[in-house]
Amino acid sequence: MKAPVEIRNDTAARALTLHWPAGHTQRVAHGRLREACPCAFCRRIRHDGGVLIAAPGLTLTGIEPMAYGVQLAFSDGHARGIYPWSYLEKLGHD
């Protein structure tokens, strides 16, 4: 999977906007991103039947591109998950 050609954090709308090489654009809410964090800690919670619920007003505070995805940091202090490009694209379609 190729990386997006542009990644934009819309803080007012609390959404991450991704522009993909094929020409489509998707927006994923900050809360949705936080609730779907792929780090081992968050995956374990979901595996055990728990549900992650993003705090009201949660925002994305950092975006660190990686070779195969992006590491995101949130206003609740969580910054562990690396979101592979294919995972991000799937989140935008769910």
Q: How confident is the model over 40-48, as a mean pLDDT?
A: 97
Residue 2 near residue 90 (C-beta atoms within 8 A): no
pLDDT at residue 92 is higher than 80? no
Mean pLDDT for the chain overall: 94
Identify the CATH class of 6-91: alpha beta
Query: Would you state the structure tokens that stand for residue 11, as one six-digit string?
Result: 């803080």
Question: What global pTM score does this model have?
Answer: 0.92
In angstroms, the Cα distances linking 1 to 16, 24, 66, 69, 90 are 18, 14, 13, 10, 12
Structure-model confidence comparison of residues 1 and 91, the more confident one: 91
The residue ranges of every structural domain in the chain are 6-91
pLDDT at 94: 61
pLDDT at 93: 72
Q: Which amino acid is at 74?
A: F
What H or E segment, with its residue span, contains residue 19? strand 15-19
pLDDT at residue 37 is higher than 90? yes
Q: Is 47 left (phi over 0), alpha (psi -120 to 50) or beta?
A: alpha
